[in-house]
Structure 1
Amino acid sequence: MLNYRQLHYFWVVAKTGSIARASEQLNLTPQTISGQISLFEQAYNIELFQRVGRQLELTESGRQTLSYAEQMFQIASELETVLRAQPEEQQIVFRVGVADMVPKSIVYRLLAPAMALDGVLRISCREDKLERLLGDLAIQRLDLVISDSPMPNHLDIKGFSQKLGECGLSFFADPALAARLSAGFPACLHNAPLLIPGQDTMLRSRLLRWLAEQHLQPRIIGEFDDSALMQAFGQSGSGLFVAPSVIAEEVCQRCAVQLIGQTDAVTEAFYAISVERKVKHPGIVAITESARHQLFQ
Structure 2
Amino acid sequence: MAENINYKHLHYFWVVAKEGSIAKAATKLHITPQTISGQLSMLEDRLNQPLFDRIGRGLQLTETGRLVLRYADEIFELGRELSDVLRGAPQFGASEFIVSAASAIPKTIVYKIVKPALNLSEEINLVCKEGPIDAILADLAVHEVDMVLTDTPLSSAFSIKAYNHFLGESGLSFFAAPDLAKRLSGGFPECLNRTPMLLPTKQYAIRQLFDRWINDIDLFPMVKGQYDDSALMKSFGQAGFGVFFMPTVIEHEVCEQFQVEVIGRTDEIKQRFYAVSSERKVTHPAVAAICDKARDIIFK
Structure 1 residue ranges without an equivalent (≥5): 7-86
Q: 1:205 aligns with which of 202, 205, 208?
A: 208
Q: How does 1:173-192 map onto structure 2 within 5 Å? A: 173-192=176-195
The letter for the 2-side match of 1:199 is K
Amino acid at match of 2:208: S
Report which stretch shifted further, 128-137 or 229-238: 128-137
Secondary structure of 1:237 counterpart: coil
Q: Which residue of 2 aligns with 1:232?
A: 235
Does structure 1 residue 160 correspond to structure 2 residue 183?
A: no
> What do residues 166-221 of structure 1 show as CA deviations (whole Å, max 9, x unaligned)?
01011000000000012111111111111111011001111111111111111111
Q: Does 1:217 align with 2:226?
A: no
Q: Partner of 1:233: helix, strand, or coil?
A: helix
Matched, 1:292 2:299: no
The CA deviation at 1:89 is 4.0
Q: Secondary structure at the match of 1:171?
A: strand
Aligned residue in 2 for 1:150:
153
Equivalent in the alignment of 1:41:
none
1:265 to 250, 263, 268: 268
Give the 3-state SS of the residue equivalent to 1:156 in structure 2: coil
SS at match of 2:209: helix
Query: What amino acid maps onto 2:271 in structure 1?
Result: E
Q: 1:40-51 maps to which residues of 2 (within 5 A)? A: none
SS at match of 2:127: strand
Unaligned regions of 5+ residues in structure 2, if any?
1-25, 32-89
Q: CA deviation at 1:98?
A: 0.8
What is residue 136 of structure 2 aligned with on the other side? 133
CA distance in 1, matches of 2:154, 2:185: 42
Return closer, same or farther for 1:254/1:89 CA change in 2, 3 Å cut-off. same
Match of 1:123 in 2: 126
User: Which of 156-165 and 206-215 deviates more?
Assistant: 206-215
Deviations 1:125-184 (A, max 9, x none): 111111111111111111100001111311211010011000101100000000001211
Q: Offset at 1:4? A: 7.6
Amino acid at match of 2:191: C
Any residues of structure 2 matched to 1:106-121 within 5 Å, and which?
106-121=109-124
Which moved further from structure 2: 210-219 or 244-253?
210-219
Which letter does structure 1 place at the counterpart of 2:183?
Answer: R
* Aligned equivalent of 1:61: none
TM-score by length of 2: 0.70
Report the AA paired with residue 195 of structure 1. Answer: L
Query: What letter is aligned with 1:227?
Result: S
Q: Name the CA shift for 1:135/1:3 in 2 (closer, same or farther; >3 Å).
A: closer
Secondary structure of 1:102's partner?
Answer: coil
Between the aligned partners of 2:30 and 2:169, the Cα distance in structure 1 is 49
Distance 1:163 1:88, change over 3 A: closer
TM (norm. structure 1) is 0.71
Give 2:99's aligned residue.
96
Shift of 1:3: 7.8
SS of equivalent to 2:289: helix
What value does the CA root-mean-square deviation take over the aligned residues?
A: 2.0
| Pairs within 5 Å for 1:64-79 | none
Counterpart of 2:210 in structure 1: which amino acid? Answer: L
Q: Distance in 1 between matches of 2:109 and 2:174?
A: 16
